[in-house]
Structure 1
Amino acid sequence: MSEINFHKFYDTKIVVKMEKQNADSKQKVSETGAKKHEEMPFNILGPREFLMNFDKQVDALDTASKESNDYDMLCTFVYQVDNGYRKFVVVHPEIYWRYYEHLPPERRCSYEVIPENHPCRLYLDLEYSIELNLGHNGPSMTNTLIDIFCMYLLKHWHVICNRYNVVNLDSSTSEKFSRHIIFNIQDVAFKDNYHAGRLVKSVCADILNYVTSKEKQHDILSCFEKTQLEQLFVETKKGKRLFIDTAVYSKNRHFRIYKSTKWGKQSNLEISDDSKYIPSSVYNDKELSIFLDSLISYFITKKNLILLEYFENCTINTNCFKDTVQRYNYQESDSPCSKYPMLDKYISNLISPGKIRTCKHFETAKILVYETVGYRYCENIGRCHKSNNVFWIVNLKNKIIYQKCHDQDCFGFKSKSKQLPEEIYFQIDEEGDVLLNSAMARDIV
């Protein structure tokens, strides 16, 4: 572990200029009689002048975690040197930008490390071969996806988001359409990139099921023309699929940063021509603002973050970063049965000889989640899993039921929806209950 040698890594003239600026900045701080930098909020003295270079990622991430605080967060970046060899640097992103922005475009080969179990923004990696998809309109497809995810955020967590909150970066070439999409919503983040990935995979599964099925109604997707949704599927060498890369939500993911290109290529990420994003007004430097706003795991302050959670069984939750539970309109009740006895009996018969372990009721979403025990038949594989149980979801609004699975290989799978029996319709239809009570009252009179 040693300090990074920027004289070797970057152009010497640039480093000398940056060091002079840093010295001038420190002199001004000294003249004001300021005490230790670490004791003052970043917005008074600026970011801490901390730079450490590492050969091993684990050491870099450990140092970044130990050296960060609520007001002065350090990030781990990856930069590529000779032959594409990757090295790691722990630094405040503002400090990194001072050096990085002066590099020639072909030498900007840098990535942000998205730490495991760390708050992160929702992000998407979109790409497809232009040669195989000549009739596709990439910018239009991207905007459709942005609108879809904004609606899911509103539905699940009541988070308001639109294209003006979305950093839309483009690195397309004549061969490949490529976009990085970052949802920058003030004081809102996902608990980590696993939770963000589950949402993305679930939305992908919803789009696939809606486009390939005969279902005409969906809370969100019905707002779009089916031709719009069909356009989101592209041809690849392995067949047709959505143009979202769902493999980028892995442990300590390396994600290319603003202005960066892949090693040996000239396809730097730039703000797209159709981007509606409005950069933060905290900084006078627009380019710095875009760079900081586009980072997945950097937050000016974390203590007030609202963390969105999306669990494997498709249940959702909202927490504060400081572990104070904030259940935004989602009053979840958890018991072995629901308030609909006929529905509970129907589910019990459906999974017999298995049992209902618990029933979770999400009042606002009008959703019931039945967790089972002793019932492992999965419609995705057409047989029972060896160890994982399945669960059933009831949409009280649409009166439908479908099966999902806890097995990782079946993540995102949703069985074909089934209509509940008519006798159950009436029991769970609140308006029907009111009409019934009124009719009974008239008969009695």
Structure 2
Amino acid sequence: MMDTICTEKFYGGKVRKRKLKSNVNWVKTYRVMPSHILGPTQFWQVFHRQVDALTTAAEYSTKTDTLCTFAYQRPSDGSRRFVVAHPEVYWWYYKAKPQEERCSYEVIPKDSPCWLYLDLEYPVELNPLCNGSRMTRTLIDIIRVYLLTHYHLLCDRNNFLILDSTSSTKFSRHVIFTMKDMAFKDNSHVGKFIKIIYNDIMLYLKSDMQSHGILNQFNKVDIEEMLVETDHGKKLFVDSGVYTKNRQFRVYLSTKWGKQSHLTVSTDCTHNPVNKCRDKELGIFLDSLISYFPNKQNLILLEFFNRSDVKAQLYSKTTPTQYSHKSDNQSSPYPEIDKYISNLVDPGKIRIVKYSDKTKTLRYEIYGNRYCENIGRCHKSNNIYWIVDLNKKKLYQKCHDEDCSDFLSTPKSLPEEIAFMLDIEGDTLISRLTVNENIT
């Protein structure tokens, strides 16, 4: 189920009135983010289901506005809701929430580019002599050498953003490797890369190995210090289980529900910002997001399948074929069909049209006309869309309302002149589309 934006609900009610220096009372019920022609899209939708949020974020993102999916826990019971928004817009409302209510997570989409990230932790009571800061530096330096060895990638400690939420009972840090126009293909590749390092260290420490090309460069005592006591025995202070599909990862300044251990920049962090913003806090927030890349086309993606199968290539060359012929515009390779759909949904407009080469379909997202054949009236908030099946020369209406998710309107035949055009020119048009996209 999807709800429209309600910022008052999101950050917990009215902003307290306060007097400004000019003695003008702050009387707004909630702070509405000012809109600017060069600013990010104000798109904001709240969902009960993560899958719906992820689908919407993918569908509504554009080359100029990348939308992300965030999860937040409700103060009353800790239950989770999902927000799709531009990160700058989310930050605007998120930072206005009372500190104790900042329980937010970034959802890292599967099969999506992401930065290398680490979740470091150990129980303080069982490890009273551990120096978490020194252990973090040792691990970062080891990762730097692995990046240099496998990808010829030279980086330093300034490329690592260190966030800390350590409490009296638990050492806890998030470490994010940030480098402009550089990312891993997805978090499964990050997971494989980190697990290789993890296993190398464990083997090096548990056996009497005298030689290891990378680890021999470090003091073995420093490496041994990263091995900590837990309730389940000794292990590295690295959580290797945070690389699952659609992982939720706590964001900057956030705490877990019911606790007061907020993620803040560690005192030993020397990170150089990638997202340089006038608002320094916004820049930290953007840098801390694992899967936010506003300019994916320039990304160099690092792939790691195993120690002998390592690659680095441009994002555009690794994009799956089935997506390469999609067009995120208000027009398609079939202007006659575009015109027909425009007349069909009038007074509504085509917001976006996507062409899929794999299914040979056109998908028209509509705004300004929410009439749904399933309920026989307009939806209050959810938009509709039309699917054109080019093989069958049929079209049908669907909508984004959860109650109508399985609904498919009675198929309508395309006009004869358009059907004839598809028979004669279809292959030519698709070939032309492929050539043009290869050029751009």
TM-score by shorter chain over 0.5: yes
Contact kept in structure 1, 2:73 and 2:81, CA below 8 Å: yes
Task: Note the 1:416-435 alignment, pairs <5 A.
Answer: none
What is the CA–CA distance in structure 2 between the aligned matches of 1:189 and 1:69, rounded to whole Å? 19
Cα 1:324–1:251 shift into 2, 3 Å: closer
| Alpha-carbon distance, 1:135 to partner | 1.1
| Equivalent residue, structure 2, for 1:109 | 103
Q: Do the aligned residues in 1 keep the contact of 2:181 with 2:300 (CA within 8 Å)?
A: yes
Q: Which runs of 5+ in 2 are unaligned?
A: 17-27, 320-440
**Aligned match of 1:390:** none
Q: Does 1:217 align with 2:219?
A: no
Corresponding residue number in structure 2 for 1:62 = 55
2:31 to 9, 12, 18: 18
CA distance in 2, matches of 1:100, 1:275: 23
Distance 1:276 1:91 in 2: 29
Is 1:197 the counterpart of 2:205? The answer is: no
User: What are the superposed Cα offsets for residues 341-393 of structure 1, whole Å, 9 maximum, x if unpaired?
Assistant: xxxxxxxxxxxxxxxxxxxxxxxxxxxxxxxxxxxxxxxxxxxxxxxxxxxxx
Partner of 1:92: 86
The answer to whether structure 1 residue 75 and structure 2 residue 68 are counterparts is yes
Q: Which amino acid aligns with 2:78?
A: G
Give, in angstroms, the shift of residue 72 of structure 1.
1.1
Deviations along 1:226-260, one digit per CA (max 9) or x if unpaired, are 10110010000110000100000001000000000
- Poorly superposed stretches of 4+, deviation over 6 Å: none
Instruction: Tell me the residue number matched to 1:228.
Output: 222
Q: 1:169 aligns with which of 142, 159, 163?
A: 163
Q: Is the 8 A contact 2:179 2:274 kept in 1?
A: no
Residue 267 (1) aligns with residue 255 (2): no
Partner AA of 1:5 in structure 2: C
Match of 1:127 among 114, 121, 126: 121
User: What TM-score do the two structures reach when normalised by structure 1?
Assistant: 0.66
By how many angstroms is 1:216 displaced? 2.1
How is 1:362-441 mapped onto 2 (pairs within 5 angstroms)?
none
Match of 2:4 in 1: 3
Per-residue Cα deviation, 1:373-432 (whole angstroms, up to 9, x for no partner): xxxxxxxxxxxxxxxxxxxxxxxxxxxxxxxxxxxxxxxxxxxxxxxxxxxxxxxxxxxx
- Aligned equivalents of 2:100, 2:273: Cα separation in 1: 25
For the residues of structure 2 that align with 1:281 and 1:153, how far apart are their CA atoms? Answer: 22
Q: Which residue of 1 aligns with 2:39?
A: 46
Compute the TM-score of the two structures, normalised by the length of structure 2.
0.67
Q: What is the rounded CA distance, in whole Å, between the counterparts of 2:196 and 2:103 in structure 1?
A: 32
Structure 1 281/203 Cα, relative in aligned 2: closer, same or farther at 3 Å? Answer: closer
Q: In percent, how many aligned pairs have the same letter?
A: 52
In the TM superposition, what whole-angstrom CA distance separates every residue of 1:49-97 from its partner, at most 9, and x where no partner exists? 1001111111100010011122210000001102110000000000000
Code of the residue aligned with 2:9 in structure 1: it is K
Which string of whole-angstrom CA distances, capped at 9 and with x for unpartnered residues, describes residues 4-57 of structure 1?
3211222333875532x51xx44xx4xxxxxxxxxxxxxxx0211100111111
TM-superposed CA distance for 1:263, in Å, is: 0.2
Please give the per-residue CA displacement for 1:283-332, whole angstroms capped at 9, x wherever unaligned: 1111000000010000121111000001146521112110169xxxxxxx
Q: Secondary structure at the match of 1:161?
A: coil
Looking at structure 1, the residues matched to 250 and 10 of structure 2 have their Cα atoms a distance apart, in angstroms, of: 19
Classify the secondary structure of the residue corresponding to 2:285.
helix
Deviation at 1:271, TM superposition (A): 0.2
Partners of 1:208 and 1:124 lie apart in 2 by 17
1:178 to 2:175 alignment: no
How many equivalent residue pairs? 305
Runs of 5+ unmatched residues, structure 1: 30-44, 326-445
Q: SS at 2:3's partner residue? A: coil
The one-letter code sitting in structure 2 at the alignment partner of 1:4 is I
Contact 2:178 2:274 in 1 (8 A): no
CA contact (8 A) 1:163 1:276 kept: yes
Shift of 1:214: 2.2
**Structural mapping, 1:281-296, within 5 Å:** 282-296=276-290
Q: Find the aligned partners of 2:274 and 2:214 in 1 and give their Cα distance.
A: 29
Distance in structure 2 (CA, Å) of the matches to 1:273 and 1:49: 34
Distance (whole Å) between structure 2 residues aligned to residue 112 and residue 89 of structure 1: 10
Distance 2:226 2:129 in 1: 12
Matched residue SS, 1:311: strand
Query: In 2, distance between residues paired with 1:191 and 1:324?
Result: 8
Name the CA shift for 1:56/1:144 in 2 (closer, same or farther; >3 Å): same
- Contact 2:275–2:287, Cα closer than 8 Å, also in 1: no
Query: CA contact under 8 A between 2:161 and 2:176: conserved in structure 1?
Result: yes
Indicate the residue corresponding to 1:276 in structure 2. Answer: 270
User: Using the alignment, how far apart are the partners of 1:201 and 1:138 within structure 2?
Assistant: 20
Distance 1:290 1:256, change over 3 A: same
Give SS of 1:235's match.
Answer: strand
Q: For the residues of structure 1 that align with 2:85 and 2:198, how far apart are their CA atoms?
A: 35
Q: How far has the Cα of 1:193 moved from its partner?
A: 0.3
Question: Is residue 2:152 matched to residue 1:158?
Answer: yes
